[in-house]
Amino acid sequence: MIIEKEKVRETVEYLSSRTEVKPEIGIILGSGLGAVVKLLEDSIHIPYPDIPNFPVSSVKGHGGKLAFGTYAGKGLVVQEGRVHFYEGLGAAKVMYPLWVMKALGVKTIINTNAAGGINPNFAGGDLMLVKDHINFMFTNPLIGPNDESIGPRFPDISEAYNPELGEIARHAAEKIGIKLQSGILISFPGPSYETRAEIAMAIKLGADAVGMSTVPEAIVSSYLGLRFLAITFISNLVSPTRTEPLTHKDVTRAAARASKNLAALIGEIIKEMG
């Protein structure tokens, strides 16, 4: 994938004209997980359509603002809402915000997403530290020509989920008394939710949760040399025998309820990041 440096430069120039914050941490918020932006002090929220070259999400509950501010003395940029692969804009557009964050000076990404829980020990509302992923999106965001000055053609992504950040997350959760599960995320392209047969397959493959994002963000972050931490919110449980229907509204409602816990956890993680 090639991203035009000139476009990124234009985006960064605009953002730098709107805020003095020099972000070192970038946060990506999943469906309905907006409470995290309340952590920000002296924040400014810029709607995506105002930002040159920025992709705009068409999905309800995905917000669509880039927020800048500080927390615990650190500069943060928060993506309130993300564009998903299933919106059909192509990898270069979907991954564009990560390039921008890198160009803004971000070193660490904290990614959040909602997912269906398939591990029988999980409950709806749980938070899960992503240890690793299975890419079942039938694509890879790095497909296409490569610019070796940005990253390698064949990046090693075996530690895409930074173990040190994972330890910090576990410690932070323990400190503030929030249960943090951990597991493997399998990602399907969506937008349809999974069939019962697909869920049965995901269980056999060893996954703990199913989602439609985060995997591409992890791959591109690794490629760009960004430290990556992913926390998944288990918005619903799925199983091959589930009979009740699942709607996007169910997912965003559950996320809104869990958003406070997630915000507290992310706040503590940032404090412990030193």
Using the rule CB under 6 A, which residue among 11, 79, 236, 259 binds ligand HPA? Answer: 236
Active site (catalytic) residues: 31, 62, 84, 86-87, 114, 212-213, 236, 248
Whole-angstrom distance, CA of residue 16 vs CA of residue 270: 23
Q: Are 255 and 211 in contact (CB under 8 A)?
A: no
Asked if 268 and 176 count as a contact pair (C-beta separation under 8 A), the reply is: yes
DSSP string, 195-235: PHHHHHHHHHTT-SEEESSSHHHHHHHHHHT-EEEEEEEEE
Q: How far is the CB of 162 from ligand HPA (least distance, A)?
A: 23
C-beta of 178: minimal distance to ligand HPA in Å?
20
Q: How far is CA 269 from CA 19, 39, 105, 196, 256, in A?
A: 24, 12, 19, 36, 20
> Which of 185, 251, 269, 270 is the binder for ligand HPA (CB under 6 A)?
251
Q: Which is nearer to ligand HPA, 16 or 195 (CB)?
A: 195
One residue of 55, 97, 211, 216 binding ligand HPA per CB under 6 A: 211
Nearest CB to ligand HPA, comparing residues 14 and 136: 136
Stretch that binds ligand HPA, among 41-49, 141-149, 161-169, 233-241 (CB under 6 A): 233-241
Shortest distance (Å) from residue 6 CB to ligand HPA: 35
Whole-number Cα distances in Å, 215 to 31, 59, 178, 193, 219: 16, 19, 24, 17, 6
Residues 6+ apart with CB under 8 A from 121: 181
Instruction: Give me the least distance between CB of 102 and ligand HPA, in Å please.
Output: 26
Q: Can residue 32 be called a binding residue for ligand HPA (CB under 6 A)?
A: no
Residue with structure tokens 């053609």? 153
Out of 137, 173, 224, 238, which residue is the one contacting ligand HPA (CB under 6 A)? Answer: 238
Q: Is 34 in the site for ligand HPA (CB under 6 A)?
A: no
Residue 31 tokens read as: 């469906």
Q: Which residues bind ligand HPA (CB under 6 A)?
A: 114-116, 193-194, 210-212, 235-236, 238, 246, 251
